[in-house]
Chain A
Amino acid sequence: MALMLALAARAQPFLVTIDGNNQSRVGDTYDYGKVAAGDIKDVLFGACNTGNVPPTVRGVGFSISAVYGYVPGQCLRFTVRFSATQPDSYSAGLYSTSLQVNTINVFLLALVLPAPSLTVFPVCTVDSQRRIDFGSVPAGTLRLCNFSLQNLNAQPLVIATIAATGAFQGPQNLPTPFTLAPQEAKTFTIQVTPACGTNSLSGTLIVNTQNYTLTGTSFVPALPKPTLTFDSNNFASGQQHLLTMNLPAQAPCGADGSVGLTFVPAASAVTDDPTIVFVAVNKRTVPFHVNPGSTQVLLNGQPSVVFATGSTAGKIGFTINGDTSTTLAIPPATISIDTATASNQRLGNLDIEIIGYDNTYTAGAMSFAFLDTGGKPIGLSAISADFTSAFKTYFTNQKSGSSFLMRVSFPVTGDQKQVASVQVTLTNAAGQSQTGALTFQ
């Protein structure tokens, strides 16, 4: 009676297959299915209620390739590998030998089919684990790899399936099924175009029952070197121009960056000119963005951006992501006169007001030629004045480029209405400018 109770308490041994967290109980047979000649097929089993002694396998092509650590109370895990080079039907016995009673006896079956030989041509490579590497592929660009599928068997070989999965596509123009005669070969291509932002590529090439792992890596390619174009070939102070940015080829991926302005004044009197900016943002940089497949670069979200040339001679540089791209020369110029007026409304004074800019910062020397109401010059020559010191002081504290509003007053006695007009000549390092005749009013 005691013996019978002990036997009843012993659990029934059984075999399971293990796929991740899933276990499936195995009956009297387990079929490996169709296996291509030369292929390896591993199946992970668990021998349950058999203790820590692994089962044995007896039969051609089958072998226990790995036994994993035994955990009491759990099934003993082990891998049975099948591989054979000759097409045929194969079988083997899987036995548990640890128990004298209720042992496991399972028949393992496999059918080996003839398989084609696959050749991978550069630039792709294949390793012993049948991993085909497409290499490092710039995102947004097409990478093609060439393959050859040959029947090295003595009999015709039907190719029922040939396809790429995952990130890979192909083959094109190779409809299945088709038959390869002995020694016949067919070439085909598999392609991949990595999406922007993808780092690794994975997929599978399936040829009948054979699977080849397709791999590769991807990177964001450098943007084609942009070109900056302007709405003019002539540049001077006091202007606004349009800057446009284009790519010589389509951008494979979207990209962002910045375009910058730099300025080196020709005059030593100043170190910068704050009026030289991208006007819309009032800054020296604007962001750019290019969409995938586009050659046009958006500057601050627009097809072009306005920049001001300021009021200082020198060199305006344009940088793309910090690298100098183009430099524009703003030449020294004579004093630019924006407006000029003359007034005799203040008793005892003739007042002249001139608004302009001096992009050389050398203004100061001036002459004033007065005409009477009869149109004749007053005095033997124009009146000279030198305001160099005043201009130097003014420019030192100026924060709006070289623009200035100058008021000159000439004290007079008598009837100042007899002085009809004045012509002012302003001199700087680039030459002379004249106001034209300013009528006192």
Chain B
Amino acid sequence: MRSFLATALSLCAWAQTGLETPRIGTMLDANGAVRPVYGVAGSVTVGEPIATGILSIACSRKICLKTDIAALLALDEEAAFVYFQESKQLARWHAGQLDSIDFVPGGDVLSLRVSSGVLEFAVRRDGGVWIMRGQDVIDSLPDDAGPVMLLTNGVLFANAEALVLRRPDGTEVRFDIKGVEALFFIGEGYVQARVGLSTYALRIEPGREQIFLLPEAPP
């Protein structure tokens, strides 16, 4: 073993490096333009629009979905579930194709996520906000929750007073942001919160939660 490691490490003298501008993700600005966000948390610049006329986005490290009609998006590796809020129709997007899915949520759908390959969704009905897995209620949120974003590791929701990040163990991190109107995934570990003409980026990585304002447009 030692001999192998010595051999392996003897090659390290030729370590190679590459440097580039880090990219937090892709934001949707107040004018419906999709822009790349460069930098690190708290110190960012935004680039030129890569799409315009967009109403919803969901971006991960692998893909970035954009729609020009109001929709809820749940990324699933390189596929996604899409819920069209106006027509109340669910579809699955994969390989550039959109397939309709029978879906009877029984209320107003607020968010989608894929957990272990199964679609889960938050729905407002009967005066409450419920998190469903198929026909089963697996959790609930305060009645006044909204907007809501189901995360892989918890749930993010806004109420009249704050933006709340609730972990599976019930612990919460609150951010003093009022009037959140929409939430989008904008990159690995980042969610965008739109408040009027302001856009916040929320870092949701456990233990590194942080919120900061995003520049709205290039200078």
Contacts and interface: CB of A to CB of B under 8 A. Distances in A.
A406 B21 CA distance: 9
Interface stretch (B35-43, B62-70, B133-141): B35-43
Which interface class (under 10, 10 to 19, 20 to 34, 35 or more) fits A? 35 or more
A403 B4 contact: no
Interface stretch (A25-33, A57-65, A123-131, A280-288): A280-288
The range of chain B's interface size is 35 or more
B105 to A, nearest CB: 36
Contacts of A372: 1, 5
Contacts of B4: 414-415, 418
Contacts of A415: 4
B19 A400 contact: no
Contact of A280 (B22, B41, B213): B213
Contacts of A336: 40
A412 B11 contact: yes
B46 A311 contact: no
A274 B219 contact: yes
Contacts of A390: 17, 19
B27 to A, nearest CB: 12
A306 interface: yes
A306 B44 contact: no
Interface string A314-353: 0000000000000000000000101000000000000000
B213 A401 contact: no
Interface in B1-53: 1, 4-9, 11-23, 38-46
B42 A356 contact: no
Given A280-B216, A282-B218, A414-B8, A400 B44 contact: yes
B45 to A, nearest CB: 5
A409 B18 CA distance: 9
B215 A279 contact: yes
B88 to A, nearest CB: 35
B57 interface: no
A400 B15 contact: no
Contact of B7 (A275, A406, A413): A413
Nearest to A402: B43
Nearest to B23: A405
B212 interface: yes
B180 interface: no
A370 B9 contact: yes
B125 to A, nearest CB: 37
A202 B40 CA distance: 62
A356 B40 contact: yes
B152 interface: no
Contacts of B218: 282
Contact of B46 (A282, A383, A398, A401): A282
Given A404-B21, A406-B18, A355 B40 contact: yes
B5 A413 contact: no
Contacts of A410: 11-12, 15
Nearest to B211: A240
Contacts of B16: 408-409
B198 interface: yes
B217 interface: yes
B214 interface: yes
Contacts of B42: 238-240, 308-309
A302 to B, nearest CB: 9
B43 A416 contact: no
B8 A403 contact: no
Interface in B192-219: 197-198, 212-219
Nearest to A407: B18
A405 B45 contact: no
A406 B17 contact: yes
A277 interface: yes
B114 to A, nearest CB: 22
Contacts of A383: 9, 12-13, 15
A401 B24 CA distance: 14
A309 B43 contact: yes
Given A400-B45, A418-B1, A405 B19 contact: yes
B11 A403 contact: no
B141 to A, nearest CB: 29
B219 A403 contact: no
B12 A310 contact: no
A425 to B, nearest CB: 14
A338 B11 contact: no
Given A413-B7, A416-B8, A282 B43 contact: no
A299 to B, nearest CB: 14
Given A238-B40, A309-B43, A404 B19 contact: yes
Given A403-B40, A406-B19, A418-B1, A412 B45 contact: no
A398 B21 CA distance: 7
Contact of A240 (B213, B217, B219): B213
B213 A405 contact: no
Given A282-B216, A283-B219, A379 B44 contact: no
Contact of B43 (A394, A399, A401): A401
Contacts of A416: 8
20 contacts: A238-B41, A238-B42, A240-B212, A280-B197, A282-B215, A282-B218, A282-B219, A284-B219, A308-B42, A336-B40, A338-B40, A355-B22, A356-B40, A357-B39, A368-B15, A385-B15, A401-B45, A404-B20, A412-B12, A413-B8
Interface of B: 1, 4-9, 11-23, 38-46, 197-198, 212-219
Given A308-B44, A372-B1, 15 more contacts: A238-B40, A239-B42, A277-B215, A282-B218, A308-B43, A338-B40, A368-B12, A370-B9, A383-B12, A383-B15, A406-B17, A409-B15, A411-B12, A412-B11, A419-B8
Q: Top 3 nearest A-B pairs by Cβ distance?
A: A282-B215, A405-B22, A394-B19
